[in-house]
Amino acid sequence: MKEKLIDLFQYTDHFNQQMIKLISENLSKVDEKTISLINHTLNAQQIWNSRILGETSFEVWQLSPFEDLEQINHQNYLKSVAIVENYDLDKRIEYQNSKGSKFENSIFEMLFQAVNHSTYHRGQINSLLKQNGIEPLLTDYIFYKR
């Protein structure tokens, strides 16, 4: 199970990198929503990692300097993999969401949410890129595995 979860984080890292690169190459054509969504995608993974690790997290819609996104993505990847390798994935963690509501989920559920959430938002970003005349990336998991 841990190997499969690490594979999903490698997939997430790979296509986040590719998306950041594509946006960077087309900065003059992308809109604010695209920039906001790529930041949000990275922020969410950082937030889930931080909830598990008990660290301070980003804000959900925080905007980081665009030139920092590659490093944020890389740090997210390293922390997610370290969690998979060093924690009991069945352990339940209590946390508060951005609105202050309290919840409890297993580490596996929290990490899978991070992967699934990023996939969802990369799809949204691809739609926005296409609307702005930029060829979207093929980011399906199966393309990654081919």
3-class DSSP assignment, residue 58: coil
Residues 6+ apart with CB under 8 A from 123: 139
Candidates 53, 52, 44, 49; CA nearest to 98 is 44
CA distance 96 to 140: 31
121 is in an annotated binding site: yes
Angle CA 10–141–125, to nearest 5 = 90
The residue to which tokens 């339940």 are assigned:
92
User: Can you say which residues are annotated as belonging to the binding site for a divalent metal cation?
Assistant: 40, 117, 121
User: Can you say which residues are annotated as belonging to the binding site?
Assistant: 40, 117, 121
